[in-house]
Structure 1
Amino acid sequence: MPLNVLETRLLAFVGDLVRQPDAARRDEMDCQCGQPLPPRGVEGVARFNAGEYYAQHDLFEAQWVAEPGPVRDLYRAILQVGVAYYHVTRGNDRGALKMLRRSVQWFADLPDVCQGVDVRQLREDAARVRAALEGGDPAALDRARLPGVRLVDSGG
């Protein structure tokens, strides 16, 4: 088989796997991000910020499953960061890194503020925790004081 045919097939296959937001999805995301955080999400943030990472996971997972629109990425990103923090508090740095690396894809299409959640800050906090774990210096990470989810005015 000629290389250009193989390349074409490979690129098509990879293209099917890569998340590529289109204009309609971005518009729907913007609209949904302008809405308030649902009550289950508000409770999930409260649990996350209280260090109840297992409980926040259940709340955000239920919200994620119930939401068919693109804003579900917000719920999935938060729950995965929370699961990572759960692993951090248990000394499972490998599990934490896996979840933090996985969460990056869910943050990718989110604006800086979505449903009142300061996504930019959460994204940066998760990146700092990930960098501390990847740096091989677990002492650089205060496991008892992991960053929370910050809520802000949805209007920016």
Structure 2
Amino acid sequence: MPPPDFFKGIAEFNARQFFECHETLEKIWLEEPGEIRRLYQGILQIGVGFYHCCIRQNYWGAVTLLQNGIDKCRPFAPQQFGLNLDAIIKETELALTKIKELGTEHIANFDPAMIPTLKEIPEVG
């Protein structure tokens, strides 16, 4: 099981509170000695990537962080801790493709509705 603040960070991510999510998940990531730390860092980077896109309109920061976050989350797919990582990866890839299409000149036109949320996988039974 992840530390309790992990789910706080996920709630912050889903609420689009990317700065707060960064602070919460960074503490967990830095304290974790095991490989799962890469998942924490990956989610953190995806959130910061969207922050760079939507708040700072920093094309290169958004593209770099989103790709790094996807790459770090991928080994933990399809799910971890009941979260649908396949979905967040695929939806972030779609958003990243759109950001790349917009380019540096039009990043301000990115539709924040494309920002995914981390969804729980429903229990069967």
TM-score category of the 2 structures, normalised to the smaller one = 0.7 to 0.9
Deviation at 1:54, TM superposition (A): 0.4
Change (3 A) 1:42 1:87: same
Which among 70, 73, 76 is matched to residue 110 of structure 1?
76
Aligned to 2:31: 66
TM-score by length of 1: 0.68
Q: Deviations over 1:35-56 (max 9, x none)?
A: 3x43111100111111110000
Change (3 A) 1:154 1:85: farther
Aligned residues: 120
Which is higher, the Rg of structure 1 or of structure 2? 1
Deviation at 1:149, TM superposition (A): 1.4
Change (3 A) 1:140 1:120: farther
Residue identity (%): 27
8 A Cα contact 1:60 1:79, kept in partner: yes
Which among 78, 87, 99 is matched to residue 133 of structure 1?
99
Partner-residue secondary structure (3-state), 2:97: helix
Which among 99, 108, 112 is matched to residue 65 of structure 2?
99
Q: Structure 2: which 5+ residue stretches go unaligned? A: none
Equivalent position amino acid for 2:118 in 1: V
Structure with greater helix share of residues: 2
Displaced runs of 4 or more, over 4 A: 137-140
Q: Structure 1: which 5+ residue stretches go unaligned? A: 1-34
TM-score by length of 2: 0.83
